[in-house]
Structures are given as structure tokens and as C-alpha cells.
Amino acid sequence: EVQLVESGGGLVQPGGSLKLSCAASGLILGNSAIHWVRQSSGKRLEWVGRIGLKAESYATTYAASVKGRFTISRDDSQNTAFLQMNSLESDDTAVYFCNLGRSGYWGQGTLVTVSS
């Protein structure tokens, strides 16, 4: 059974940092591009960014709203992807999901709350 498990969410003050993880089991993460998607309480889904495969030199792309603040990385040897979030703002409050693009798999999400 394929599972993606996000972790690392929590409460952080504005301006703070947080690093999320997405651990995969039941598949080889290195075969998939990895996306991070977030969903605020307003329910709209927002794409955060993507990291490509080794064959794409792990190229990353980000939404304008997070570019320069968020960094996506991956460690295929650990079957894990990461989302480093810096300079967090209240608008970053959301449930963060990892998603494997064409593979179709989603994690269950982890909640990030940015508040003083």
C-alpha cells in the first residue's frame, strides 16, 4: 500500500521557520516529481511548488507567493521530501499536502499555523 505521511507542522510565530517532511512508503519516491499543495480554511487549494526528478537535476518551481521564502528538497535515499518554510506570514496558515503529480498520490496533510 502506498502511503505519504507529512510531518513537521505546528504553531509558529510570524517571521519564523518550519520544515515539513513527506515520507513515502510502498513506492520509490525517486520515480516521481513531488508537489506541495496547501489548503487554507477557506478551502481553496493552492499549489506551493514542485521538485523534479534526478533526471531533471532536481529542478524546482515555486508559486509567486512563496518564491524566495520556501525551498523544496528531496532525499531519495530516505524516500522523503521536504519543504523548508522561512519568513512565515499569517497567510501561510494552511494544511500542507505533498502530492506525487502524475502518480496521483496524496498525503493526509499537516497543519501549519502562523500566529503570535
Partner 1 sequence: QAVVTQEPSLTVSPGGTVTLTCGSSTGVVTSSHYSYWFQQKPGQAPRTLIYETSNKYSWTPARFSGSLLGGKAALTLSGAQPEDEAEYFCFLLHSGVIVFGGGTKLTVL
Calpha distance 34→42 (Å, rounded) = 24
Nearest approach in angstroms of CB 84 to partner 1 is: 20
Q: Would you call 52 exposed, middle or buried from its count of C-beta atoms within 10 A (0-12, 13-18, 19+)?
A: middle
* Least distance between partner 1 and beta carbon 107 (Å): 7
Evaluate whether 79 touches 55 at the Cβ level (below 8 Å): no
Residues forming contacts to partner 1 in the complex (CB under 8 A) are 35, 37, 43-47, 50, 61, 63-64, 97, 99, 102, 104-109
Of the pair 35, 74, the CB lying nearest partner 1 is at 35
CB of 99 to partner 1, least distance (A): 8
The strand pair at 45-51 and 60-62 is best described as antiparallel
Nearer to partner 1, 28 or 44 (CB): 44
CA-CA distance, 81 to 76, in Å (whole number)?
8
Nearer to partner 1, 17 or 61 (CB): 61
